[in-house]
């Protein structure tokens, strides 16, 4: 099952969909235009059922095969939302929305799944039902959880779920996957430090929260370097440092730190949360400041099911000739919520030598579309072969 010729024929059309979505990015759950386009196209394709408003703005389309003796329902999921980043690509179809861009390729994921849906609705060469799932708010909003909590899996009787993400640095259209733990749990924290502000010429009359925060940023790195077993994966990142003053001659009253903690095991996740609180409180007390810590557990570890991963690997190898072993990824992925609800697998498809995701010069590579669409279609036709 190499790349299907039908997707080569459809490539200009799918590319046009993708570039239109790229030009009109939408954030989190505000994917109203994108969701409406998806629903309209699924109707044009002849889907048997289309449901909107799942998990707020998610869309699910059902396509029935030529037969249904198996009674199996396979879910294929793509994400739709963009990122709050100002685009710097200079493309003629660059984002027209200030401060938002498709910097992670969700426009490509949505377009590829739409292409696969069109093909599957045309051919219906399978025994069972496919649910094409278009999810909002993958970028920090937990749209996958919202769709699961909204009863999507039970409502449509989904038995297995499969997801895909483009991957810069891999050859275009190549694949990589791994069984078991794949993407990290991604937690967030906010640390609010309060000192005593004053004149920069008289620091002795202040409790400088900037100094407290600077020590805290460095001390937080010891969670990974001195508290965690070196063979365990953990990343602690302070990503924002904001003071309560912008003047050169004012020591501020407050500092706000933001960041993330990424782990692969529950015990390490527990340790990280405990030590983060202890370090923040201890450092603040050392300098006479006060601190308030808010720790939010976000996406869980994403775990690929063994059987479905091997099957996904076989389909990918048939499409591109091989499928590599993927590395562990410390990024978070809320497809984890769907994999917690049902067995399934998540795969990476090569985006070529492009800027990395979440970069203002990133762009999804349209040359990856035929391979991605073929993998979606292959999952359905080979997991539920026509009788």
Domain finish residue from 277, 299, 321: 299
Q: At 259, which CATH number?
A: 3.30.70.360
Asked whether residue 273 falls in the same domain as residue 370, the answer is no
Please count the structural domains in the chain: 2
- The parent domain of residue 107 ranges over 5-182+302-383
Domain finish residue from 299, 318, 336: 299
pLDDT, tens digit, for every residue of 193-212?
999 999 999 999 999 999 99
Asked whether residue 174 falls in the same domain as residue 56, the answer is yes
DSSP per position, 61-89: EEEE-SB-SS--EEEEEEE--BBS-----
DSSP 102: -
- Tell me the C-alpha to C-alpha distance, in Å, between residue 251 and each of 181, 194, 211, 223: 46, 12, 10, 29
Provide the whole-model pTM.
0.95
pLDDT, tens digit, for every residue of 297-344?
999 999 999 999 999 999 999 999 999 999 999 999 999 999 999 999
Pairwise CA distance, residues 178 & 310, whole Å = 9
Pairwise CA distance, residues 125 & 139, whole Å = 34
Q: At 175, which CATH number?
A: 3.40.630.10
Asked whether residue 138 falls in the same domain as residue 22, the answer is yes
Asked whether residue 315 falls in the same domain as residue 248, the answer is no
Asked whether residue 356 falls in the same domain as residue 221, the answer is no
pLDDT, tens digit, for every residue of 106-141?
999 999 999 999 999 999 999 999 999 999 999 999
Domain finish residue from 299, 334, 363: 299
Asked whether residue 217 falls in the same domain as residue 140, the answer is no
Asked whether residue 174 falls in the same domain as residue 37, the answer is yes
């Amino acid at each position: 099952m190499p790349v299907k010729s039908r997707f080569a024929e459809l490539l200009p059309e799918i590319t046009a969909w993708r570039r239109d979505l790229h030009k009109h990015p939408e954030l989190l759950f505000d994917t109203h235009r994108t969701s409406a386009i998806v629903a309209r196209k699924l109707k044009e394709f002849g889907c048997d059922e289309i449901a909107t408003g799942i998990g707020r703005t998610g869309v699910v389309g059902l396509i029935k095969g030529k037969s249904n003796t198996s009674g199996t329902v396979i879910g294929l999921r793509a994400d739709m939302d963009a990122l709050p980043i100002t685009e710097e690509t200079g493309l003629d179809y660059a984002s027209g929305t200030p401060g938002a861009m498709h910097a992670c390729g969700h426009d490509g994921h949505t377009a590829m799944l739409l292409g696969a849906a069109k093909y599957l609705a045309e051919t219906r060469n399978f025994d069972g039902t496919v649910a094409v799932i278009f999810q909002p708010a993958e970028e920090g909003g937990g749209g996958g959880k919202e769709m699961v909590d909204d009863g999507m899996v039970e409502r449509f009787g989904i038995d297995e779920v499969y997801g895909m993400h483009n991957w810069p640095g891999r050859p275009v259209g190549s694949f990589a996957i791994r069984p078991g733990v794949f993407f990290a749990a991604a937690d967030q924290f906010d640390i609010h430090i309060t000192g005593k502000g004053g004149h920069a010429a008289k620091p002795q009359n202040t409790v400088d929260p900037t100094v407290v925060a600077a020590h805290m940023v460095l001390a937080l790195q010891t969670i990974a370097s001195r508290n965690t077993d070196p063979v365990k994966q953990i990343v602690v990142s302070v990503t924002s440092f904001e003071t309560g003053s912008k003047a050169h001659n004012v020591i501020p009253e407050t500092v706000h730190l933001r960041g993330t903690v990424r782990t692969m095991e529950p015990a390490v996740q527990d340790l990280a949360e405990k030590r983060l609180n202890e370090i923040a409180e201890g450092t603040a007390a050392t300098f006479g400041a006060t601190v308030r810590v808010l720790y939010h557990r976000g996406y869980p570890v994403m775990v690929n099911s063994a059987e479905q991963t091997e099957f996904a690997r076989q389909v990918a190898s048939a499409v591109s000739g091989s499928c590599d072993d993927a590395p562990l990824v410390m990024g978070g992925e809320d497809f984890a919520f769907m994999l917690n609800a049902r067995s399934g697998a998540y795969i990476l498809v090569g985006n070529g030598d492009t800027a990395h995701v979440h970069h203002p010069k990133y762009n999804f590579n349209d040359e990856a579309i035929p391979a991605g669409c073929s993998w979606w279609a292959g999952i359905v036709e080979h997991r539920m072969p026509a009788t």
